[in-house]
Amino acid sequence: MQLSLPTAASPWSSNPSRLEGPRISLIPLELSHIDTLVSLGNRAEIWTHFPENREHPQERLQHLNTCWNEMQERLQFAFTLQLNSTGQLVGFTRLFHLNPVNRQLEMGSWLHPDFWQSGINTEAKLLLLTFCFESLHTIRVQFRTDSSNLRSQNALEKMGATLEGIIRNERIKPCGNYRDCLLYSIIESEWPSVKQHLQQKQAKYQGLQLAS
């Protein structure tokens, strides 16, 4: 099969649209979101297993500015998570390591702890994976998580992602320790069953009242 480069009209080369779900929307990152996201990330438990140190506000500001700049260069897609009921921002997610020729990318996200176990992560993943497989027509979405991050591993496995293996000494953490990470993925042929599973999970959370 012949590979083709994305054109200017390709979704890989275009600004993403707002992705709307029943309870949340994913809003393409804007400069006006950044200060709110910096403040939102002030809970240390968000960053316990992140490979980079983002506990300090300046680190979060630098990272979010980098995400915004790379969006302008079409090097990643970044979104804020917004409650439909109140307009409150509750988290951040992005698609990076974009490989439009081979239609592959990586997904990462964080959510304010007040919204853990609320179904927001399920809805966000459904929206973003639908964008990946049905708009970008990816053949592979991958996820990396710290080998000690059992909560993330459990969430990925419940979502239907497949564990591919362990990447040993994947990087050096800010504390100086070496990090092993687990590599998960969802591929094109698995998407229909993963989508159905996420839709069923989302329906269970539909009537849950969200904090504000």
Dihedrals phi, psi of 185, to nearest 5 degrees: -155, 160
Query: Max alpha carbon distance in the chain (Å)?
Result: 50
Rounded Cα distance between 203 and 182, Å, is: 29
Chain centre distance of CA 183 = 15
The pLDDT assigned to 1 comes to 45
Asked whether the beta carbons of 126 and 21 are under 8 A apart, the reply is yes
- What does the pLDDT look like over 57-93, one tens digit per residue? 999 999 999 999 999 999 999 999 999 999 999 999 9
Listed in order, strand segments (DSSP E) in the chain are 19-20, 24-28, 77-83, 89-99, 104-111, 140-146, 162-172, 178-187
- What does the pLDDT look like over 150-194, one tens digit per residue? 999 999 999 999 999 999 999 998 888 899 999 999 999 999 999
Domains of the chain, earliest start first: 17-139+191-205 (3.40.630.30)
The pLDDT assigned to 52 comes to 82
Q: How long a stretch of residues is the chain? A: 212
Mean pLDDT, all residues of the chain: 92
Q: What residues contact residue 59 under an 8 Å CB cut-off, 6+ apart?
A: 52, 53
